[in-house]
Amino acid sequence: MDDTLHALRSRIAELPGYGSSDDRRRSDELVRAYAGEALAAMQQRIAASELARSLGAPILRTEFANQAAFRGFESEPSNDAAIARVAQADVVLVELADRAASVEASDAQAFAVEVQSALDERDRAMLEGARAPAP
């Protein structure tokens, strides 16, 4: 988990981690904002392309927490493994955000699908982490 937090904090210095409910809420906001800003910049960069529209859905998903997924994870994640899975999903999303600046317009649609998949995995990790029994 230390490596995962280090990877996230190397890009988002103020990320508090996942130790408390408040930390999880703030980390969620910061990761979504980081990804959303990168996607919005990419969308603006390729705005002349019809493919820029493919980024609308993932951008919208970064603007708002998925409350169905986040509520249980925020209040009572089941165990450290559940927290680590969400943190790893956050690393994947942040790494995709870092790639956004170099994605060409012709690859925007495939990249948007990749981001949607990463957001889906993040939501799954939160949902399963909230439900999984503690070992």
What is the pLDDT tens value at each position of the chain, 135 positions in all? 789 999 999 999 999 999 998 999 999 999 999 999 999 999 988 876 667 778 889 999 999 988 988 888 887 776 888 889 999 999 999 999 999 999 988 898 999 999 999 999 999 999 887 754 555
Question: Looking at residue 47, what DSSP letter applies?
Answer: T
Q: Round to whole Å and give the CA distance between 56 and 65.
A: 16
- Is residue 99 helix, strand or coil? helix
Structure tokens at 126: 């939160």
- Per the CB < 8 A criterion, the answer to whether 123 and 66 are in contact is yes
For residue 32, the Cα-to-chain-centroid distance in whole angstroms is 5
Q: Output the pTM of the full model.
A: 0.87
Q: Round to whole Å and give the CA distance between 38 and 132.
A: 32
Q: Round to whole Å and give the CA distance between 14 and 126.
A: 21
